[in-house]
Amino acid sequence: MSQTDTTQMSSQTQLQVEELPVFVPDLDAMHEYQFVGLNNRDSRSRPFHLLRTTLSKSLKEKNYRLVGITSATPAAGKSFLSMNLAASLAQVADDPIFLVDLDLRRASLAKDIGLVADRGVSDFLNGDVSDLSSMGIRIEGSKLTMFPTKRVSNNTAELVSGKNFDNLIESLRNQTGQSIILFDLPPAFANDDTMLILEKLDSYIMVVDSGKTNRRQVQEMLAMLNPVPCAGTILNRYRGGFGDSYGYGYGASSYKKYYD
């Protein structure tokens, strides 16, 4: 059977989330890794609960399920926010929440929570594995399933524009009984990966690093990613105002809200 045949078959296979390998987050490590969204006793999880409510409402209204998280500048907090937001969403979701690491050059999500993954998204894109169950990891005590990646140092654009990438997205989209799928992406200006990936998703969330990302960068990014809809903005490391003392703010409609 050819590679294409194999992946086409897998895209119709329903993932049995409860049969996936389980990762048990270490509470001390969670603190060290800033992975707080799962732990209600950590006061830093609270702003994520506020974010999840606003975000789920706006995604539901527009029927956006596959949502990328990106930023104009590097180190804006995309991975930190996507992990914690996914964890927070997974605490109240009726159905599994998926989090996919598509920042192939960084591959930071697994590392950020102390997880060592044998296989990941990069293996699917390379054609070395052909089913979601080979790379999905269930986070114990939650409805969160993560798809980590191994680091790829070149040709990432080829990987995210090939047939296997289409199959990956189709496989994820076709899973029944699952609600939101978040994708941790590279910065939009780093290379063309983000643009190529977003062509296949429903929308994106823009992370704005308060004080670092400037108005021009945001406008250029909105223009570059057009016509993919921006589902909202997260103003990270923001002090003073909505979600203030922990440094996150959320704008459900457009960036204008903050910068006009």
Ligand X SMILES: Nc1ncnc2c1ncn2[C@@H]1O[C@H](COP(=O)(O)OP(=O)(O)OP(=O)(O)O)[C@@H](O)[C@H]1O
Bridge partners for 188 per DSSP? none
And the tokens for 156? 């990432």
Q: By the 8 A CB rule, do 170 and 122 touch?
A: no
User: Which of 16, 31, 40, 74 is in the footprint of ligand X by CB under 6 A?
Assistant: 74
Q: Among the candidate windows 16-24, 75-83, 130-138, 170-178, which touches ligand X by CB under 6 A?
A: 75-83
Residue closer to ligand X by CB (options 80, 183) is 80
Query: Does the footprint of ligand X cover residue 106 (CB under 6 A)?
Result: yes
Q: Which of residues 70-109 bind Mg ion (CB under 5 A)?
A: 78-79, 106, 108
Q: Which does 175 bind (CB under 5 to 8 A by kind): Mg ion, ligand X, none?
A: none
Q: Which does 237 bind (CB under 5 to 8 A by kind): ligand X, Mg ion, none?
A: ligand X
The site map against ligand X for 16-55 (x = CB under 6 A) is ------------------x---------------------
Residue closer to ligand X by CB (options 129, 205) is 205
Residue closer to ligand X by CB (options 79, 122) is 79
Q: Which does 80 bind (CB under 5 to 8 A by kind): ligand X, Mg ion, none?
A: ligand X
Give the interface size with ligand X as a residue count (CB under 6 A): 17
In the complex, the smallest distance separating the C-beta of residue 47 from ligand X, rounded to whole angstroms, is 9
Residue closer to ligand X by CB (options 147, 248) is 248
Q: By the 8 A CB rule, do 94 and 179 touch?
A: yes
Q: By the 8 A CB rule, do 44 and 33 touch?
A: no
DSSP for the chain reads --HHHHHHHHHTSPP-GGGS-EE---HHHHHHTT--TT-TTSGGGHHHHHHHHHHHHHHHHHT--EEEEEESSTTSSHHHHHHHHHHHHHHH-SS-EEEEE--TTT-HHHHHTT---SS-HHHHHHTS---GGGT-EEETTSSEEEE------S-HHHHTTSHHHHHHHHHHHT-SS---EEEE---TTTSSHHHHHHTTSSEEEEEEETTTS-HHHHHHHHHHHTTS-EEEEEEET--SSTTGGGTEEEESS-THHHH-
Q: Among the candidate windows 23-31, 72-80, 85-93, 150-158, which touches ligand X by CB under 6 A?
A: 72-80
The site map against ligand X for 167-196 (x = CB under 6 A) is --------------------x---------
Give the binding site for ligand X (CB under 6 A).
34, 71, 74-80, 103, 106, 108, 187, 236-237, 247-248
Give the binding site for Mg ion (CB under 5 A).
78-79, 106, 108
